[in-house]
């Protein structure tokens, strides 16, 4: 009997746990040396820093800014997961017929199996507190095996998903 061979020994639950721990480490200041000077994140471009890397998994901190989507993409042969530290994200996932939207707020988690195609972007926070509404949107992402490539997609005139290009990259979520 044929059986699918998983590309990694880690499960989505393992990746979710790693992003949760990574988020806690960022909040505890354990990665302060990797943050931009003064802890001030760029406001015009997405920013990222690799928190950890080994043969099995990459862990990234990403800062998101308005109006900079990732474009529809997959993660090639890698599983993925994320935990939102602060702010909010919008995800538009291809579900085979169209784009399904979900909002991910601080504390929310998501995992991405193989074949997951999505577009991710900063979302305005819904909090009425201006002190937290103006803060950056930060998320920690894990990929296993570590990212090596991504493909990009568009939705064609007939409503089908069409791959437009594939790139070799070890950077997360659309070449932050
Ligand atoms: Fe992604």
Residue 2 in any domain: the answer is: no
Percent of the chain's residues with pLDDT above 90: 82
d(CA 45, CA 76): 24
Residue 7 in any domain: the answer is: no
Residue 121 in any domain: the answer is: yes
Query: How far apart are the CA of 87 and the centre of ligand 1, in A?
Result: 18
Q: Where residue 64 sits, what CATH number does that domain have? A: 2.60.120.10
Contacts 24+ apart (CB under 8 A), 33-42: 34/61, 41/136, 41/138
Count of domains forming the chain:
1
Query: How far apart are the CA of 79 and the centre of ligand 1, in A?
Result: 10
**Alpha helix (H) residue ranges in the chain:** 12-27, 130-133
Query: How far apart are the CA of 1 and the centre of ligand 1, in A?
Result: 33
d(CA 173, CA 158): 26
Q: Which domain holds residue 152?
A: 12-168
Q: Is the pLDDT of residue 127 over 70?
A: no
Query: How far apart are the CA of 16 and the centre of ligand 1, in A?
Result: 14
Residue 176 in any domain: the answer is: no
Residue 24 in any domain: the answer is: yes
Tens-digit pLDDT profile for residues 16-58: 999 999 999 999 999 999 999 988 999 999 999 999 999 999 9
Query: How far apart are the CA of 120 and the centre of ligand 1, in A?
Result: 7
């Amino acid at each position: 009997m044929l059986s699918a061979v998983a590309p990694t020994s880690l499960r989505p639950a393992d990746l979710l746990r790693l992003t949760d721990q990574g988020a806690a480490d960022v909040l505890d200041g354990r990665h302060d040396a990797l943050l931009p000077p003064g802890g001030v994140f760029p406001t015009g471009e997405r920013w990222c820093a690799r928190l950890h890397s080994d043969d099995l998994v990459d862990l990234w901190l990403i800062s998101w800014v308005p109006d900079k989507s990732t474009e529809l993409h997959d993660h090639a042969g890698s599983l993925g997961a994320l935990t939102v530290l602060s702010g909010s994200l919008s995800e538009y996932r291809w579900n085979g017929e169209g784009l399904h939207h979900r909002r991910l707020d601080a504390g929310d988690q998501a995992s991405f199996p193989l074949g997951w195609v999505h577009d991710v972007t900063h979302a305005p926070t819904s909090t009425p507190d201006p002190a937290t509404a103006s803060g950056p949107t930060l998320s920690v992402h894990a990929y296993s095996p570590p990212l090596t490539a991504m493909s990009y997609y568009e939705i064609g005139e007939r409503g089908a998903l069409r791959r437009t290009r594939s790139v070799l990259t070890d950077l997360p979520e659309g070449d932050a």
